[in-house]
A and B are shown apart, each in its own frame.
Chain A
Amino acid sequence: MLAGGMAIAALLIYLSVMLIAAHVGRRRRGRIDHHTGMRFILWAGAIGPTILLLVLLLTALPMMRPIEAGARDLAIDVSGEQYWWRVRYRPPGGPAVDAANEIRLPAGRPVLFNLSSPDVLHSFWIPGLAGKMDMIPGRTNRLVIRATRPGRYRGACAEFCGRSHALMRFTVVVMEAQAFDRWLVKQAAPSPAALAQSDARALFRDYGCAGCHAIQPDAIGRRSIGPDLGHVGGRGSIAAGVLPNEEAAIAGFIRHPERTKPGIAMPSFDFMPEADARAIAAWLRSLE
């Protein structure tokens, strides 16, 4: 509303200035005298803008007041890391749930984001839901968002953070509040496929994947160095919103992450046979 109002006002001002200028440029007769000219400058150049800008300022300042979230609202810690998003849901009274690169929100409830970064500057931006907020090493910034309409929203890193800055995206899924609560309870429990012994699970361990990627909760590893993959099968995309969550894409990414994301911390596994990569990919997709 603010943006629309300003845009319309700006357009009107712009058109009037251009009309005056065109009039001045075309006119042959009827020049104004010194006195009129000075009056014109005083009113159009000084007093008019002073009043308009004051009105704008006084209208806009109250909008700076942030929405508040209380102690009983959901908090989500998001940490921007080169080039992905570490996510931890902290539901009031419930266990914390780790995730990455996709954020789900309950519609109609305020959610507090605690934003931080362990490496360089990033900025957390969901254009469809809120303004951006920087993630700064050594600081924790707060941002409260109340999403109203369920649906999928795009998110992106808005502060230049290095080579793959352009590829640091994420998805936000706004769900009906009850559906969200059910989903979060499910996330707090391990995925069945993560617990069951399987060849693919063994491959994931043997290739050392688990050294960086935890399968939380309670399956493999604890604090993840890279994105937690505990429920990766339920996410809409992988590699921080860059690749579709499909077997071939995951397998390709495992073997050549650098091709998708220049400057990524993950080493390339180009020695891994395609079949193994496929098997791991299929297993990961089963971690709903």
Chain B
Amino acid sequence: MSVDPQDDPAVRRAQADRLSAVWASPKGLFLRWTDTNNNRVGAWYVITAFAFFLFAGALALLMRAQLAMPDNDLVGPSTFNQLFTLHGSMMMFLFAVPMFEATAMLLLPQLLAARDLPFPRLSAFGYWSFLIGGVFVAGSIFFGAAPDGGWFMYPPLTTEPEQSGIGADIWMLGLSFIEVSSIAAAVELIVGVLKCRPPGMRLNLMPLYAWYILVVAVMILFAFPPLIAGDILFELERLLDWPFFDAARGGDPLLWQHLFWIFGHPEVYIVFLPSIAIFAMVVPTFAQRHMLGYAWIVLAAVGTGFLSFGLWVHHMFTTGLPGISLAFFSAASEAVAIPTAVQIFVFIATLWAGRVVWSTPLLYAAGSLAIFTLGGLTGVMVAIAPFDWQAHDSYFVVAHLHYVLIGGTVLPLIGGLYYYWPLLTRRKLSDRLGKIAFWLMFAGANIAFFPMHFSGLLGMPRRVYSYPEALGVGGLNLASTIGAYLFAAGMAVIVLDLVWPRSHPPVVRNLWNAGTLEWLAETDDTNWGVRSVPIVLSRYPLWDDPDFLRKVDEGRFYLPDAEEGKRETLVTSVIDAVPIQVLRLAGPSIIPLATAVALGGVFILTTFHLYLAATISGIVTLALILFWLWTGTGLQPEKPEKHVGLGLSLPLYISGSRSAGWWAMFITMMGDATAWASLVFGYFFYWTIHPVFPPAAAPGLAGPGVFWPMAAMALILAGWIGTIAARELYARGVVLAARLTLVAATLLSLAGGLASLAGPWLHGLDPARHVYPAIVWVLASWVSAHVAAGIIMQLYCLAGSFAGRLTPQYDGDLRNITVYQHFLALSAAITFPVIGLFPEVAR
């Protein structure tokens, strides 16, 4: 047997020093903000989201103070409407979703024994976007300019400038900005779960947390784009008077409701599943056994992910849709309760089969179960349409959703906080304070929200700033107010526990004796994540292999060193986690922050109608993104392969469908295609509600004709084929022909993008007159804008080819833009027949 170099402590120490140096955080007042490491960025993310949570909670306390008595006049209706709009919007967009992304960013690499997520700078960019957008939206209330149309922003109340001030724009643009960053995070997390698992961790061994994150990130990818499409239509109506939701000009307010709730209902599960995911880690630890029914949890997560997209109309049961349509959604809303029940019983069964160790995190788990189950049962009730006709938009629903979200999101997160705090800070939070806080919050939540079931059934509508004494709900509301303040007191105890200075020594590693990889985290300040990337052969390696920890720490697995002084992590195959690449990760950089500031400028300046400045900001953003890509991605390594330990040698560069970048492009385009599909849905939605659609020809209302749309389609498809041809030629080393083909493809795309706009332009379609020209313009512009982005990519690859960064061996960029072109071709092949040919058929 040969001598393992890892046997030598001196070798190990030298390796550890090199790793430390490579992964060291930048220091200094300014430089520290250029950090991109998931530990640091994740911590900022968590703290920011928690701060927004406290802020949004304080808004709720003001509301409860106003509602404590009938006919109270503590705050007027104008303030009150801003309060509830901001409370709901912030809890959803600035707390629940970002908190999921933040915790996933912190925990996931650790759970997968990856050194970081595959795109650290993208994470940092997402964080800065979130911070800027969040402060912009939340801060508006100090200027009395907060959005006041409800978190659902139903038009026409919110689209008419006289009815709603700048608040609506702040909501739309500020939160759109954050939605973009959420999608970025989703891409990051999906690629992280699929491609950055440790060797041996096949799909059947993935930690349940990772399964949940995978499902939720995919849900974000399909749920947020419809809202973004809705936001686009919404802002076009507000800024340019295109009448998408104006009934007088052929629009329909219901389209917004559809798009909003196609987002809004999956959103509920997007914020619920990641918190339950924490329990999937906590429960086995405190049952001291493997999770019983691993496959059941996977079933439940995936099943919920799917079914949650078939529920959106249950928010629209009272809009007068046909009964048969409502029944479909009622049925799906009942069905989604099945996977939810499965999860609850899996947790109970695991504890039943294990040896229960009572602890503060487990207390929170039990409390969550008690609260969430009640919310789930009232959820089954409101899914029944005849009952919902009474309960809808009344305080009953307020009670239901708070039971679900407090039991399903907030308390699990607090439980997770008590569970993972030692992992993050090497200190343990106080069990005593944790229990006091728990009982305050548990009692508070029930005292606040249980009476609301009755206030609602007695006839108290939601979103009222005042109610008459004669309604007879004064006592119930007073109880709700007292409960809310009790809950807040519990939260204050938690905050106290968090900031309380601690003098006791650091806790031991893996304090709770858990079995999963995140507890490999070392107790001294190491940023590298894991000392070496282990081979994982079971679901709970820390329990199943007593030597596991030692072997990881002694660097006996992969990548124990950073010889070249570069940040690295392993990329493995999707299903069986076979190592296929050493991925060089980007280090600290100011670019993500700068790009977020510039992109934030676009959204914020547009809010104030400063279009010139917004355009400049947009150009700066584009320049920064190009600079970011050129200097930080697709870099050629100094050698093709490197040894990673255990006799394995892996390439430093791969391209095509095995690489992380290809997956990121593919996933991003899935989201993009969903937004586009939502706009096409809008076109056909208008067709269904109008007896004659497209409307009879009149000046400004004619269609785009047949010729130009068909020409645009042909040209864009030709550009797509040209790009594919260029990729193939390049791969075969025929560089000159490839370049020429790519130039031709670029020109064809350009012509296609112009032809797409020529149809509506030359036929004089006036988008402000009627919804038909407006939706045609939107569809054509959507494709043209994507062509423009495609042209930038094609030119980028040409430039790369001339600069020598794109070679037949290192052709990742070209392969990635081909993926983009596939989606562009798909959208062109459907959009142009829709706007060009469908009118001929419909007439």
Contacts and interface: CB of A to CB of B under 8 A. Distances in A.
A and B part of one assembly: yes
Contact of B386 (A21, A53, A60, A154): A60
Nearest to B299: A46
A132 B396 CA distance: 14
A173 to B, nearest CB: 15
Interface string B267-300: 0000000000000000000000000110010000
B764 interface: no
Given A45-B344, A160-B150, A138 B252 contact: yes
Contact of A131 (B150, B248, B390): B390
Nearest to B346: A41
Given A166-B465, A262-B77, A57 B351 contact: no
A136 interface: yes
A64 interface: yes
A50 B341 CA distance: 10
A163 B77 contact: yes
B370 A134 contact: no
B392 interface: yes
B353 A142 contact: no
Interface stretch (A27-35, A90-98, A274-282): A27-35
A138 B358 CA distance: 59
A153 to B, nearest CB: 9
A2 B386 contact: yes
B55 interface: no
B338 A50 contact: yes
A20 B344 CA distance: 11
B387 A34 contact: no
B689 to A, nearest CB: 8
A3 interface: yes
A154 B471 CA distance: 8
Contacts of B377: 10, 13-14
Contacts of A127: 390, 394, 457-459
A156 B461 contact: yes
Contacts of A54: 334
Interface string A114-142: 00000111010101101111101111011
Contacts of B344: 17, 45
A196 interface: no
B293 A165 contact: no
A25 B356 contact: yes
Nearest to A131: B389
A219 interface: no
Chain B, interface SS category: helix
Nearest to B296: A41
B386 A14 contact: no
Given A49-B338, A131-B318, A133-B320, A20 B380 contact: no
Question: Which among B149, B320, B461 has the highest number of chain A CB atoms within 10 Å?
Answer: B461
B389 A3 contact: no
A49 B157 contact: no
B246 to A, nearest CB: 8
A125 B163 CA distance: 23
Given A3-B390, A165-B463, A53 B338 contact: yes
B349 A141 contact: no
A70 interface: no
A224 interface: no
Interface residues of A, number: 74
A83 to B, nearest CB: 10
B74 interface: no
Given A53-B335, A164-B77, A41 B349 contact: yes
Q: Please indicate which of the listed interface residues B247, B330, B341, B467 has the most CB atoms of chain A within 10 Å of its own CB.
A: B341
Given A24-B351, A41-B345, A133 B292 contact: no
Interface string B463-488: 11111101100000000000000000
A206 B458 CA distance: 44
A136 B386 CA distance: 20
B331 interface: yes
B356 A139 contact: no
Contacts, number: 225
A88 to B, nearest CB: 19
Contacts of B50: none
B348 A21 contact: yes
B381 A10 contact: yes
A193 interface: no
Contacts of B624: none
A52 B319 CA distance: 28
A49 to B, nearest CB: 4
A67 to B, nearest CB: 12
B60 to A, nearest CB: 17
A57 B156 CA distance: 34
A220 B378 CA distance: 52
Contacts of A2: 384, 386-387
Contacts of B381: 3, 6-7, 10
Interface in B814-828: none
A41 B342 CA distance: 7
Contact of B319 (A6, A27, A134, A156): A134
Given A3-B387, A25-B351, A125-B461, A163 B81 contact: yes
Contact of A6 (B335, B354, B387): B387
B154 A160 contact: yes
A158 B393 CA distance: 6
B387 A25 contact: no
B366 interface: yes
A7 B612 CA distance: 58
A270 B241 CA distance: 36
Nearest to B390: A131
B726 interface: no
A263 B163 CA distance: 9
B387 A60 contact: yes
A158 B293 CA distance: 44
Contacts of A159: 154, 393
B235 to A, nearest CB: 19
A40 B346 CA distance: 9
A32 B354 CA distance: 8
Given A24-B352, A64-B385, A133 B467 contact: no
B322 to A, nearest CB: 10
B386 A131 contact: yes
A133 B317 CA distance: 9
A24 B356 contact: yes
Contact of A136 (B319, B358, B384, B467): B319
Interface string B61-80: 00000000000000011100
Contacts of B323: 64-66
Contact of A158 (B160, B387, B461): B461
Interface string B331-367: 1001101100111111011111111101000000010
A162 B78 CA distance: 9
A202 interface: no
Given A10-B381, A45-B346, A61-B327, A165 B464 contact: yes
B406 interface: no
A56 B251 CA distance: 37
Given A21-B366, A125-B461, 19 more contacts: A3-B390, A3-B457, A7-B381, A14-B373, A25-B358, A27-B356, A37-B292, A37-B293, A40-B348, A44-B341, A49-B337, A64-B326, A125-B459, A131-B388, A133-B320, A137-B253, A158-B392, A166-B464, A262-B76
Interface of B: 76-78, 81, 149-150, 154, 156-157, 160, 163, 247-248, 251-254, 292-293, 296, 318-320, 323, 326-327, 330-331, 334-335, 337-338, 341-346, 348-356, 358, 366, 369-370, 373-374, 377-378, 380-381, 384-390, 392-394, 457-459, 461-468, 470-471
25 contacts: A10-B381, A24-B352, A25-B356, A25-B366, A38-B293, A41-B345, A44-B341, A45-B344, A45-B346, A48-B341, A50-B338, A53-B334, A56-B384, A57-B334, A63-B386, A121-B156, A136-B319, A136-B320, A137-B248, A137-B253, A164-B77, A165-B461, A169-B468, A262-B76, A262-B78
**Which 7 pairs across A and B sit closest by C-beta, in order of nearness?**
A131-B389, A138-B247, A45-B345, A166-B464, A141-B320, A127-B459, A10-B377
